[in-house]
Amino acid sequence: MFKLTPLAAFDDNYIWVIESAKDSSIAVVDPGDAAVVEHYLAQSNKTLAAVLITHHHRDHTGGVEQLKSRYSVPVYGSSKSKFPGVTHSLSDGDSIQLFEETLSIKAVPAHTLDHIAYLVNGDTPQLFCGDTLFLAGCGRLFEGTADQMQQAMDYFASLPDSTKVYCTHEYSLANLAFAKAADPTNSEIDNTTTQCKQLRADNQPTLPSNIGLERKINPYMRTHEAALIQSASQYKNQTLSAGVETLAALREWKNSF
Ligand SMILES: [Zn+2]
């Protein structure tokens, strides 16, 4: 299991720092801003050894060229990425070795078509899910379909409850407000909201989440639950079926929430 540190970037991004247990090497996930990473490297005396990219959006890749120009490191990313800075192309089912751990690659096209997730295997798995899965939320469907997002959610829900979820934005409170509207009698949402509000009041990240919690609170992972089907059907003013239809309606509703 990796030791991880979130670096805040832009308004609400997190760049996750992955530390080697053996030496001063680190890897970073989705370095949208090189200066944030370079500041961390300077003050911690660490050495950049690798960059992991989840998808092509600029707030996840904008710092890569500057980091590559200063450090000769592999840049992992999807073989389907529009981002030209990837040096090590990955496809669904691949695995990579990073420091002491093996990471499995899962294609999760939905937010973007090149989106991949990295899963660190082990007793407590660790998931780098970029902008696909958020605490109590999911990414916007910029390039993919609701059907693809449902498949991604099914994959995430199949992971062990103990899996830690390292999302790349601090969207938790807004997502929880929507989750409460869509699933009004779910007391787990209230409990999580209280905890997240306290963390934000203390200027702490609300992340990582974990799969066990997401299975209880995330509307997009609960599209087979009667309460969510009912709320989504009310929003669309028609009777929706479980799964994709419910997910599509929830995602559309959230866009204007
Ligand atoms: Zn994105």
Domains of the chain: 3-255 (3.60.15.10)
* pLDDT score recorded for residue 78: 98
Cα(50)–Cα(114) distance, rounded to whole angstroms? 19
Taking only the tens of pLDDT, the chain with its 257 residues reads: 999 999 999 999 999 999 999 999 999 999 999 999 999 999 999 999 999 999 999 999 999 999 999 999 999 999 999 999 999 999 999 999 999 999 999 999 999 999 999 999 999 999 999 999 999 999 999 999 999 999 999 999 999 999 999 999 999 999 999 999 999 999 999 999 999 999 999 999 999 999 999 999 999 999 999 999 999 999 999 999 999 999 999 999 999 99
| Annotation marks residue 59 as catalytic | yes
Q: How far is the CA of 133 from the centre of ligand 1 (A)?
A: 11
Cα(28)–Cα(23) distance, rounded to whole angstroms? 15
Cα(11)–Cα(27) distance, rounded to whole angstroms? 22
Decide: pTM greater than 0.85.
Answer: yes
| Annotation marks residue 60 as catalytic | yes
* pLDDT score recorded for residue 112: 98
H or E stretch covering 129: strand 126-130
| Annotation marks residue 56 as catalytic | no
Q: How far is the CA of 65 from the centre of ligand 1 (A)?
A: 18
**Burial of 82 per CB tally in 10 Å (0-12, 13-18, 19+):** middle
Whether 119 contacts 125, CB under 8 Å: yes
* pLDDT score recorded for residue 203: 97
Give the residue from 180, 118, 108 showing the smallest Cα distance to 141.
Answer: 108
Cα(79)–Cα(167) distance, rounded to whole angstroms? 21
Whether 156 contacts 221, CB under 8 Å: yes
Identify the active-site residue in 60, 114, 115, 183.
60
Cα(169)–Cα(206) distance, rounded to whole angstroms? 10
